[in-house]
Amino acid sequence: MALTEESSNKIFGGYQKIFSHDSEEVGCKMRFGVYLPPQVEENKKLPVIYWLSGLTCSEANFVEKSGAQRYAAEYGIIIVNPDTSPRGLNIPGDSENWDFGVGAGFYVNATKEPWKKNYRMFSYITSELPKLINNNFPAAEGLQSIMGHSMGGHGALISALKNPGMYKSVSAFAPICNPSVCPWGIKSFTGYLGSEEASSWSEWDATQLVKKYNGPTLELLIDQGLEDNFLKSGQLLPENLIESCTSSKVPAILKKREGYNHSYYYIASFIGEHIKYHAEHLLSKKL
């Protein structure tokens, strides 16, 4: 599959690049970021971390605001961050709301018209994109982890729980933990999947997926700012996920950050901690 390099900037000894390609899964041109650390010059395969962004974001937010490249360069890890939805399709209603449609794919495979043909972000990030990365970059196949923020935190969690063994580790900043019962999730699931009875919402809800997880040991690292307005308004519900993990004996860590909100100021403050966590799993050594 042909890739088009849209931009390239040297940073921390490596290169932050943006690529575009024609996606078969979502039926439009998609963009994604790839940070190639300086270790790529050693001509060896490197582990990969996938980052999934939140509502209203594109591939640019993480690239420009997180500061993740510093830590990826330190540990010798490629970071890949896709866009959050198909774009440019002009599906009726796809741009009427900031929390549904463009910029808000919710990392599910839609089953309801008119979304089911193109809004297949789950298959894009767990199947098409990894194949693209493995075929075009010095990625060590089988050595990948996943993380994300908000809607992207939800995406990271379900990607790991629905694909046992695919990712060495998973972490999430302020994730939407129980979308079946929060306003954002109810809106998106109703739109993309239809009624709860007809569409098995639990198949796309980390709090529910944990209850039937049956795979290699997988620890969920959840990070939450305590001054997050979306936490206070009941959109995130981390306590529901932790309760589910406890009852299902799935290991989980909830880190509570006093004074931090939902922004990239918060993410930038702790992204190094998360990348170190993933590096220890990917490199199989204490750092």
Whether 262 sits among the annotated catalytic residues: the reply is: yes
Q: Classify 58 in phi/psi space as left (phi over 0), alpha (psi -120 to 50) or beta.
A: beta
Task: Tell me the C-alpha distance between 237 and 203, whole Å.
Answer: 17
Nearest C-alpha neighbor of 150 from the set 267, 29, 282, 10:
267
Using alpha carbons only, give the angle 184, 206, 188 rounded to the nearest 5 degrees. Answer: 25
CB pairs under 8 A, 24+ apart, for 113-116? 115/91, 115/191, 115/192
Catalytic residue among 23, 53, 66, 150: 150
Amino acid identity at 59: E
Catalytic residue among 149, 154, 262, 281: 262
Using alpha carbons only, give the angle 188, 86, 136 rounded to the nearest 5 degrees. Answer: 130
End-to-end Cα distance, the chain = 36
Give me 255's structure tokens: 């880190």
User: What residue spans of 76-195 are helical by DSSP H?
Assistant: 121-123, 129-136, 151-162, 183-193
Catalytic residue among 228, 244, 278, 281: 228
Catalytic residue numbers read 150, 228, 262
